[in-house]
Amino acid sequence: MTAYLESLAVLCAIAAILASSLDLVLGFAGIFSVAHAVFFGIGAYAASLVALHLTASLAFALAVAMAAGAGAGLLLAVPALRVREEYFVVASLGFQVVATTVFEQWQAVTGGIGGLTGIPPPTVAGLKVESYAGMAALSVLLAGAVLAGLRALVRSRLGRALQALNQDEVAAQAAGHNPVTLRTLAVVVSCSLASVGGVIYAFFSSFVNPESFTLDESVRVMVMVIMGGAGTTAGPLLGALFVTLFPALLSFLTIPDQFLGPIQRLAYGLIVVVLMVYEPDGMVGLARRLRRLRALAPAGKPGESTA
């Protein structure tokens, strides 16, 4: 049971890293990417290759994975500068499909469909982290660092320039911001941070295969951001926790195994639809609405505070 909770903590940390880093481009820079799982995958493959062939040092794996993620991010930045909105959604979709095929077919590097196995546990400052508890602590620490870094970035001059660009490109340009540099930087940072999630995933599961980095995963991350509330700090975190923990909650119900997966996903799909129809600002919007109701309650008729 503890092992189960600890592994859930690792999965939540990974989801939080993916959702928050995607929100940098999606919520703050207005670049609608459905290719985030590609960078998650690149981080995981890079860490696995380093751990299998060079060293199990976490710091080294992180450095290599983030560099690889940033490099691949440059590829995605090219269409991001050319096309916007629905066109970019489809461009990133194309990027995702091509990358999935490369993961599956590039036997020599990715191990093809079978993937890479036998990844050793990571070492931190010479110490081997083997236990689930150690892995959970490490993941939560890394997620905390990524989230704090993103928060600082969004509040910096650079982050504000990015939001200005998203709201009014002409005005932002007139204020001296260069859209090409800013957008490229946002995409590269976002992709590089997503690969941190991949590093944790590779060390935690000790094997990686292309199944974890498909379009489904990309859309799942996007759903976390939109469901939670794009362009906020709390939103992606809430969305990540909900999307990761929700199936775990349902698995406590007594449903026959072969129906459990489809029922989980059916319920998840329906919740997403209902939330989007009634509260397009996501869970953050929902919380805001509740807070407003509570603030109004003393002034309103008694007993109607939860209406």
Residue showing tokens 């981080």: 43
Residue showing tokens 């995958």: 41
Contact flag: residue 114 with another protein (CB under 8 A) = no
Contact flag: residue 211 with another protein (CB under 8 A) = no
Other C-beta atoms lying within 10 Å of the C-beta of residue 262: 10
SS3 category, 51:
helix
Nearer to another protein, 41 or 122 (CB): 41
**Whether the Cβ atoms of residue 6 and residue 132 lie closer than 8 Å to each other:** yes
Contact flag: residue 74 with another protein (CB under 8 A) = no
Nearer to another protein, 4 or 87 (CB): 87
Contact flag: residue 270 with another protein (CB under 8 A) = yes
**Piece in contact with another protein (CB under 8 A), picked from 57-65, 122-130, 150-158, 258-266:** 258-266
Q: Which residues contact 252 (CB under 8 A, 6 or more apart)?
A: none
Near another protein by CB under 8 A: residue from 84, 163, 164, 169: 84
**Whether the Cβ atoms of residue 283 and residue 229 lie closer than 8 Å to each other:** yes
Question: Distance (Å, rounded) from C-alpha 209 to C-alpha 252?
Answer: 28
Other C-beta atoms lying within 10 Å of the C-beta of residue 4: 11
SS3 category, 282:
helix
**Beta carbon of residue 214, minimum distance to another protein (angstroms, whole number):** 10
Nearer to another protein, 85 or 130 (CB): 85
Near another protein by CB under 8 A: residue from 83, 109, 145, 249: 83
In the complex, the residues that contact another protein under the rule CB under 8 A are 26, 32, 78-79, 82-87, 89-91, 93-95, 97-98, 100-102, 104-105, 215, 219, 222-223, 226-227, 230, 258-259, 261-263, 265-266, 268-273, 276-278, 280-281
